Structure 1
Amino acid sequence: MKVRRFSRTSLLVLAAFVGLYAAFLLVGNFQKSLSIKTSLEKGLDSLEHRLLQDARIKSLVDKDESTKTILILPLNFSNAPTKKPGNLTVLLERPANLPKQPRGVPMDKMPYMMELNYKPSKCPKTLGTIARYSSWFKERFKPGLKMFLDEKDIYNFDNYFKISHYGMPFGYATVDRNILGLIVTNPNFINVPITDLSDKCVRCAVVGCGGILNGSNAGQEIDSHDFVFRVNHALTSEKHASDVGRKTSFYEFFPESQHVRNVKDPNAAYLFTPFKKVDLYYAESMLRGDNSSRNFSVEGKMKKFFRPPLLDQSRVKITHPDFFRYIFTHFMDLKGYRPTTGALLVFTAIYLCDEVTIYGFGYDPRFTVHYYDRKFINITHSPTGAHDIANERNCGKTSFRRCYKAFQTRSLKCCKAV
Structure 2
Amino acid sequence: MAMVLPKLKPRHHHYVILLLSCTIILCLYFENTWMLLTDNYHVSKRAACVNRTCAPDRERTDWFCARYAPTVQLLLNSSNSALSAPLSSWWRGLQVVKHVANYTALVRNLFPLFPDQKPCSDSHPNHCRTCAVVGNSGNLLGSRYGPLIDSKDCVMRINKGPTGGFEEDVGLKTTHRIFYPESAMDLDNSTHLVFSPFKILDIEWLISVFTTKHITKTYTDVPSTININRDKVMILHPEFMKYVHVNWTENHGRYPSTGFLTVIFALHICDEVHVFGFGATKDGKWHHYFDQTLTPYANESHAGDFEYKTIIRLHREKKLLMYKGWT
The TM tier, using the shorter chain, reads 0.7 to 0.9
Equivalent position of 1:227 in the other structure: 154
Equivalent position of 1:285 in the other structure: 208
Between Structure 1 and Structure 2, whose CA radius of gyration is higher? 1
Runs of 5+ in structure 2 lacking a partner? 1-45
Aligned residue pair count? 267
TM-score (norm. length: structure 2) = 0.72
**1:12-65 Cα distance to aligned partner (Å, 9 max, x none):** xxxxxxxxxxxxxxxxxxxxxxxxxxxxxxxxxxxxxxxxxxxxxxxxxxxxxx
1:189 to 110, 114, 125: 114
Amino acid at match of 1:306: V
Give 1:144 deviation, angstroms: 3.0
Residues 1:334 and 1:198: Cα distance change in structure 2 (over 3 Å)? farther
Question: Is the counterpart of residue 270 in structure 1 residue 193 in structure 2?
Answer: yes
When the two chains are superposed, the root-mean-square deviation of aligned CA atoms in Å is 2.9
Residues 1:179 and 1:398: Cα distance change in structure 2 (over 3 Å)? same
Q: In structure 2, how many angstroms separate the alpha carbons of the residues matched to 1:147 and 1:227?
A: 17
1:371 to 289, 313, 319: 289
Amino acid at match of 1:226: D
Residues 1:151 and 1:399: Cα distance change in structure 2 (over 3 Å)? same
Amino acid at match of 1:351: H
Structure in which a larger fraction of residues adopt helix: 1
Equivalent position of 2:170 in the other structure: 244
Residues 1:175 and 1:167: Cα distance change in structure 2 (over 3 Å)? farther
Residues 1:380 and 1:318: Cα distance change in structure 2 (over 3 Å)? closer
Residues 1:293 and 1:337: Cα distance change in structure 2 (over 3 Å)? closer
Residues 1:394 and 1:169: Cα distance change in structure 2 (over 3 Å)? farther
Matches within 5 A, 1:189-338: 189-194=114-119, 195-199=121-125, 200-237=127-164, 239-258=165-184, 260-261=185-186, 263-264=187-188, 266-288=189-211, 290-291=212-213, 293-294=215-216, 305-308=221-224, 309-338=226-255
Residues 1:251 and 1:193: Cα distance change in structure 2 (over 3 Å)? same
Amino acid at match of 2:210: L
Give 1:252 deviation, angstroms: 0.4
Q: In structure 2, how many angstroms separate the alpha carbons of the residues matched to 1:364 and 1:127?
A: 31
SS in 1 for 2:249: coil
Identity of aligned residues (%): 26
Amino acid at match of 1:250: H
Give 1:163 deviation, angstroms: 7.1
Conserved? CA contact 2:137–2:279, under 8 Å:
yes
Residues 1:220 and 1:285: Cα distance change in structure 2 (over 3 Å)? same
SS in 1 for 2:166: helix
Q: In structure 1, how many angstroms separate the alpha carbons of the residues matched to 2:267 and 2:156?
A: 11
Equivalent position of 2:65 in the other structure: 138
TM-score (norm. length: structure 1) = 0.58
Runs of 5+ in structure 1 lacking a partner? 1-122, 297-302, 408-413
Amino acid at match of 2:49: T
Equivalent position of 1:384 in the other structure: 299
Q: In structure 2, how many angstroms separate the alpha carbons of the residues matched to 1:399 and 1:193?
A: 25
SS in 2 for 1:152: coil
**1:70-110 Cα distance to aligned partner (Å, 9 max, x none):** xxxxxxxxxxxxxxxxxxxxxxxxxxxxxxxxxxxxxxxxx
**1:202-243 Cα distance to aligned partner (Å, 9 max, x none):** 111000111111122111111100100001222122x21121
Conserved? CA contact 2:190–2:229, under 8 Å:
no
